[in-house]
Structure 1
Amino acid sequence: MNYTLHQLQIFLKVVKTQSVTKAAEELHLTQPAVSIQLKNLQDQFDIPLTEVVGRRLYITDFGNEIAEVAEKIISQVEAINYKTMAYKGQLTGRLKISIVSTGKYVMPYFLTDFLKQHPGIELLMDVTNKSKVISSLEKNEVDIALVSVIPTTLNIEKLDLLQNKLYLVTNSNIEFKNIGNSNEIFKEIPLIFREKGSGTRQTMENFIDRNAVVIRKKLELTSNEAVKQAVIAGLGCSIMPLIGIKNELHNHELQIIPYKGLPIKTTWSLIWLKGKKHAPAASSLLEYLTKEKDNIVADKFSWYEQY
């Protein structure tokens, strides 16, 4: 037997995704490269690891057993690497963060310098909607989470990072005859919502209820990026976080429509379960951000104050 760690890592990704194509995408490799490494691993066994039925890839029982062992091997290798770095005085370990989908425009800027200072830390960041973020936090599956709407069902602690502003946005080519009466907007074009469970959706619905806004037509899409592209295409308007439309405003693909009560202002906050005993990686990140968050905001988000 002469298989490599690289081959085992690729095989594990194929097992988890049930697809050579998806494994290649997640590993940032070409599909032929993954197929070659999978074949090289298979050649060392007389029993098939995978089989293809009707163009669909299946993992055999033997393949699943090998995957279980491979996962343990890779975990032990990672442990060796962590111990080596720790022995040299470097901070190591996994940092598990769950963030709401729009948070992808925020969180990387607060992580970059910290991770450069601590190359021994492995980041696992899940980008999803608010309900799934809160579920992961509640189950203690992550160290910290980034949200713009603080959950009322959990006993949490928080660190505020950045103000979140939401504006009414449309395609730049759309013109309104009576811009002073913003209610006319919703008579002319649909309002586009995020899916239920989204923090942006919750914020929008609260605003509509408080202001008794009458919506005649509405569309629902399942990601902030999908909403943005739909608005750019002229399918409707939406109340969107400013943080995610910087380039589109600059390129005049989108325009902000004045509306009474807007922008809605919330706060991007890191939250964690009250009393949680953080591992060194998460504890160090929170300590770092407590000291550096204002500098990061001034350096990376100065454009934000123009709106």
Structure 2
Amino acid sequence: MHITLRQLEVFAEVLKSGSTTQASQMLALSQSAVSAALTDLEGQLGVKLFDRVGKRLVVNEHGRLLFPRVVSLLDQARDVEQLFQEDKGAIRVYASSTIGNYILPQVIAHYRKDHPNLPLEMSVGNSQDVINAIADFRVDIGLIEGPCHSPDIVAEPWIEDELVVFAAPQSPLCQGPVTLEMLSAAPWILREKGSGTREIVDYLLLAHLPQFNLEMELGNSEAIKHAVRHGLGISCLSRRVIAEQLENRTLARVAVPLPPLIRTLWRIHHRQKHLSSALSRFLAYCEK
């Protein structure tokens, strides 16, 4: 068997683009060269990797099985090429919103100070968005606020984070002892389903309440803070998210009759993902 990296690169590009024509443009090869490389690869493997539907190529079960291994091999090949030179490959990081907005900026600032010319691509979404991107190999590393249950993804504990129940300072809940019944009757303003914060709040807090009064769901922590500040309800977010508002007393902590609400933030990558030297270097900054 003499499978080449070029054949694997052609396979990966055809899978992503869905045609040999577009793959040839991306790889700066002729369409006939792309078709020949793909045919030769299928011949050596003894299976078809795509179903031919009209002029389209649709990846089949063999192609889906091969793809993550090809991605890993190509990543390792690029790492070998850059072994003795400065690694300028872009690191693709996807973080859930609390991490991306309130934790990662400081990490990136330290990284940029030491490596100002190395490219870094960062995206922010909810935890499920991050998990989906990792599963599809669209990003290299993910940082999320809740556990990940996919068997194809490696999830490692990263740092701990405290969740705080808070309200407008004039709220009766901030004036004296609070019971679970009072929390049950209060109007809650929470993150949307699919958010790592929401999943943990459901598990650590709401499961202890006799009932639950959901006033509204919002997909943005800033929107939640403004809604609570204007007296529309109470909420629960990371202490990091509301630290400034607690300090200037535009929001106030509600002392709930429960143990501290501590969660683990997680670092995830695909099980077939090769952690390059550049990626390992960036992850070292995440641990500082």
TM-score, scaled relative to structure 2: 0.65
**Contact preservation (8 Å) 2:178, 2:257:** no
Unaligned 5+ segments in structure 1 are 1-68, 73-85, 297-307
TM-score, scaled relative to structure 1: 0.61
- For residues 73-92 of structure 1, what are the structure 2 equivalents within 5 Å? 89-92=85-88
Q: 1:265 aligns with which of 254, 262, 265?
A: 262
Q: Deviations over 1:58-113 (max 9, x none)?
A: xxxxxxxxxxx9xx9xxxxxxxxxxxxx7994331101011101112011222222
**Contact preservation (8 Å) 1:190, 1:216:** yes
Q: How many residues align?
A: 209
- For residues 82-161 of structure 1, what are the structure 2 equivalents within 5 Å? 89-103=85-99, 104-161=101-158
Looking at structure 1, the residues matched to 214 and 206 of structure 2 have their Cα atoms a distance apart, in angstroms, of: 16
Task: Provide the residue aligned with 1:181 in structure 2.
Answer: 179
Looking at structure 2, the residues matched to 216 and 275 of structure 1 have their Cα atoms a distance apart, in angstroms, of: 43
Aligned-partner residue type, residue 258 of structure 2: G
Looking at structure 2, the residues matched to 194 and 140 of structure 1 have their Cα atoms a distance apart, in angstroms, of: 26
| Residue 175 of structure 1: how far off its partner (Å) | 2.5
| Residue 288 of structure 1: how far off its partner (Å) | 4.5
**Residue aligned with 1:97, SS:** strand
| Residue 217 of structure 1: how far off its partner (Å) | 4.5
The sequence identity of aligned pairs, in percent, is: 26
**Residue aligned with 2:119, SS:** strand
Q: Deviations over 1:214-243 (max 9, x none)?
A: 123521112111111111111100111111
**Contact preservation (8 Å) 1:248, 1:254:** yes
Aligned-partner residue type, residue 179 of structure 1: P
Task: Provide the residue aligned with 2:279 in structure 1.
Answer: 282
**Residue aligned with 2:273, SS:** coil
Q: Deviations over 1:14-55 (max 9, x none)?
A: xxxxxxxxxxxxxxxxxxxxxxxxxxxxxxxxxxxxxxxxxx
Q: 2:251 aligns with which of 244, 250, 254?
A: 254
Q: Deviations over 1:201-221 (max 9, x none)?
A: 111222355314312352111
- For residues 193-208 of structure 1, what are the structure 2 equivalents within 5 Å? 193-208=190-205
Looking at structure 1, the residues matched to 188 and 232 of structure 2 have their Cα atoms a distance apart, in angstroms, of: 9
Unaligned 5+ segments in structure 2 are 1-24, 29-81
